Structures are given as C-alpha cells and as structure tokens.
Amino acid sequence: EIVLTQSPATLSLSPGERATLSCRASQSVSNSLVWYLQKPGQAPRLLIYDASNRATGIPARFSGSGSGTDFTLTISSLEPEDFAVYYCQQRENWPLTFGGGTKVQIK
Amino acid sequence: QVQLVESGGGVVQPGRSLTLSCAASGLIFSTYGMHWVRQAPGKGLEWVAVVSADGGTKYYADSLKGRFTISRDDSKNTVYLQMNSLSAEDTAVYYCATGPGPGGDTMFHYWGQGTPVTVSS
C-alpha cells in the first residue's frame, strides 16, 4: 500500500498570503496524484488531478506540481473560502490511498 | 445534474452487519465505476471499495480484512456496501463517490452527502 504523508499538518496564514502544501508518497505514483478540499460538514471537492490539472470550475489561484514521490499544492493568494482541510490521493495503484490532510486556518 | 444519495446508516451493535445504499441520478449509471469512501469522526478520508462499471471488478482497502462487500444493481441505479462483523473502528461517515466521466475513474468528482454509521453497544 502506498502511504501519502502531508505536511504541515496545520498551516496558519492570513487572507491574501500564499499557501504551499506538500504531499510525499512512499513510492513513485508517477503523476497520478489528486488534491481535494474539504470544509466542515461537507463532502470533499476535487481541485487538481494528475498532479497539475485543475478540475472544472477551480480558480486559477490553485496550482499543483510534482511527480514521482513529491507533490505540491499552491494557493497563490488565499481567499476567505479557501480556509479548509486539503487532502492528497494517489490513483497509481490499488488500494487507493489518501494523505492525512493539511488544515489551512486563519492566522 | 449528478446526484448521489446514500442511505442505510445508523447505530449498530459491535459484531452486527449493516448494508448501505447509494442511489445515483443524472448520469448513465451503468457506465460509471462506483466507490465508497469513509471518514471517521475528526479524522481524514479513507478509501473503502470500488466496483467497476460492468460489476466484474472489485477492489477493497487492505484494512477491511474481507468484511465488506460492494455490489451494484444497474436496474435501480444503486450501489451497495454490505458491512459485516462491525467494530468501533468502522464508525464513520460513509460517502459514495464517482469520477467526472464514464469508465473506471479513480478520482472523485461527484460525492454524496454521506451517511453516518456508529458502531456502539
């Protein structure tokens, strides 16, 4: 099973600041890495697929990069609605696995 | 628009069984692989199982140890998750989810609202 490790666990930032979230895989997942955002009481929302492709309707301030074992989600300028928990997920191998999440909170 | 509606959750005693359902609309159900994902209280997401569009391929999370079974009924546009020998560690919100398009997608664009399962005596 591929283990995904997200860091940091919590990120405290102010609106307008840049957020950089990391996801590291225990073995290569090529570019088969997906990012989601989840707000309290809601289902997750697909943000980025295959490491760097924005899903339909996702604003350009969200970008993803990386390949192999190291991936980054960047939010160029945080909007109030971006404060949430972010998860990465690999879809290279079965079983599918998620990272433990990074909470982006208001400083 | 695509809608996924889960049902069947509730409080169940340890060791008992429970079957969850997820009714889909707004898509050609028989062409979509369907997944279950769960989230324990205050915890992260855990992928549980998938059934392929033709029902012939199923995969499960290693942690389930053969206790769960996923199935589908295309005549009812519904996917099921039968859960046996439940324990407190299975307490979670259970989501059904599927990809953005037909086929065997392994990313989740459409999600249900989730159905809570509590395993407690």
Kindly report, residue by residue over A87-102, the tens digit of the pLDDT. 999 999 999 999 999 9
Q: Touching check for A86 and chain B: CB below 8 Å?
A: no
pLDDT, position B4: 98
- CA A74/CA A97 separation, integer angstroms: 21
CB-CB: which of A32, A95, A101 is closest to B47? A95
| A102-106 and B3-7 strand pairing | unpaired
Average pLDDT rounded to a whole number, residues B41-63: 95
pLDDT, position B101: 85
For residue B104, pLDDT over 80 is answered with: no
- pLDDT by residue (tens digit) across B5-30? 999 999 999 999 999 999 999 999 99
Residues of chain A in contact with residue B35, where contact means CB-CB under 8 angstroms, are: 96
For residue B103, pLDDT over 90 is answered with: no
- CA B50/CA B47 separation, integer angstroms: 9
For residue B91, pLDDT over 80 is answered with: yes
Interface of A with B in 19-38 (CB under 8 A): 32, 34, 36, 38
Distant-in-sequence, close-in-space partners of A1: CB < 8 Å, separation ≥ 6: A95, A97, B62
CB-CB: which of B45, B50, B59 is closest to A44? B45
Cβ contact A46–B109 (<8 Å): yes
pLDDT, position A47: 97
Best B108, B109, B113, B115 residue to mutate vs chain A (most A CBs within 10 Å): B108
- pLDDT by residue (tens digit) across B28-49? 999 999 999 999 999 999 999 9
Best B4, B39, B47 residue to mutate vs chain A (most A CBs within 10 Å): B47
With contact defined as beta carbons under 8 Å apart, do B96 and B35 qualify? Answer: yes
Average pLDDT rounded to a whole number, residues B98-107: 87
pLDDT, position B105: 87
- pLDDT by residue (tens digit) across A34-77? 999 999 999 999 999 999 999 999 999 999 999 999 999 999 99
What is the rounded average pLDDT for all residues in chain B?
A: 96
With contact defined as beta carbons under 8 Å apart, do A15 and A78 qualify? Answer: yes
Cβ contact B111–A44 (<8 Å): yes
